[in-house]
């Protein structure tokens, strides 16, 4: 006989919680130890490298790879707009010019005289890490982030989708054995995290998304609804 195993999940009415808020890359920490923070407060920020693309300048100009550096109109470190001329070369006794244009807006990052290709880098992508909880900064991780301490209820889940979010917690069902159905989700739930009963239906999830619910907590859902 087959058996299903459900791991034990922790539920605590009240406890001190510490959340590490860390950047994906080193950057700037903008809070200090002892500072009170709200969920939307930025605690650290950095910039991720932009998209990169290669332009085969040697092939476009019809020159050898080692001639590309001298043919460059835009130098390493300079900004370039999409379709702006990157490099140009004269041919047939200087009577004709051929050019290579940028395929994106960004910066010239590298000119390779072995391959004849030019590496372009798009604009940096700003990244901010927020506190996401109301509490106090108790530790700074230099150039990376911080630890925020708060007090609250801890309920451990077994499965989740989507990123982090926050909002007021609202009970949408009266008892644990009730299904979270569309009629239980009201317009005033917009911006809130709603708690359902033993099951949330696909129709309820669609309505929650439509009216702007921040999150849904329930005992379960049908896997086919998630696929749909």
Question: Backbone phi, then psi, for 194, in 5-degree steps?
Answer: -100, 145
Q: Residue 205 is encoded by which pair of tokens?
A: 């999830």
Pairwise CA distance, residues 11 & 176, whole Å: 15
pLDDT of residue 121: 97
Domain count, the chain: 3
In a domain, 100, yes or no: yes
Pairwise CA distance, residues 65 & 56, whole Å: 9
Same structural domain, 38 and 95? no
Same structural domain, 74 and 175? no
Same structural domain, 38 and 135? yes
**Could you tell me the residue range of the domain that residue 202 belongs to?**
161-228
pLDDT of residue 92: 62
Residue 43, domain CATH: 2.40.50
Same structural domain, 110 and 138? no
Same structural domain, 198 and 177? yes
Return averaged pLDDT per consecutive 10 residues of the chain, 228 residues in all: 61 92 97 97 96 96 94 96 94 76 96 96 95 96 98 87 89 92 95 93 93 93 76
Pairwise CA distance, residues 27 & 8, whole Å: 38
Q: Residue 12 is encoded by which pair of tokens?
A: 């605590």
In a domain, 3, yes or no: no
Model pTM? 0.72
């Amino acid at each position: 006989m087959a058996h299903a195993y459900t791991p034990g999940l922790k539920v605590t009415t009240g406890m001190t919680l510490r959340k590490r808020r860390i950047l994906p890359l080193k950057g700037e920490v903008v809070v200090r130890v002892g500072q009170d923070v709200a969920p939307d407060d930025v605690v650290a920020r950095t910039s991720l490298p932009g998209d990169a693309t290669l332009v085969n300048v040697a092939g476009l100009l019809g020159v050898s790879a080692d001639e590309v550096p001298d043919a460059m109109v835009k130098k390493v470190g300079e900004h370039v707009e999409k379709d702006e001329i990157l490099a140009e070369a004269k041919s047939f006794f200087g009577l004709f010019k051929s050019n290579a244009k940028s395929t994106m807006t960004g910066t010239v990052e590298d000119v390779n005289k072995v391959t004849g290709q030019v590496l372009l880098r798009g604009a940096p992508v700003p990244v901010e890490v927020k506190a996401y909880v109301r509490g106090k900064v108790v530790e700074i991780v230099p150039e990376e982030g911080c630890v925020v301490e708060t007090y609250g209820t801890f309920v451990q889940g077994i499965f989740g989708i989507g990123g982090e979010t926050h909002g007021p917690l609202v009970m949408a069902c009266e008892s644990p054995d009730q299904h979270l159905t569309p009629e239980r989700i009201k317009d005033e739930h917009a911006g809130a995290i709603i708690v359902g009963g033993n099951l949330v239906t696909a129709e309820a999830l669609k309505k929650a998304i439509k009216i702007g619910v921040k999150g849904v907590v329930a005992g379960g859902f049908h896997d086919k609804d998630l696929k749909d």
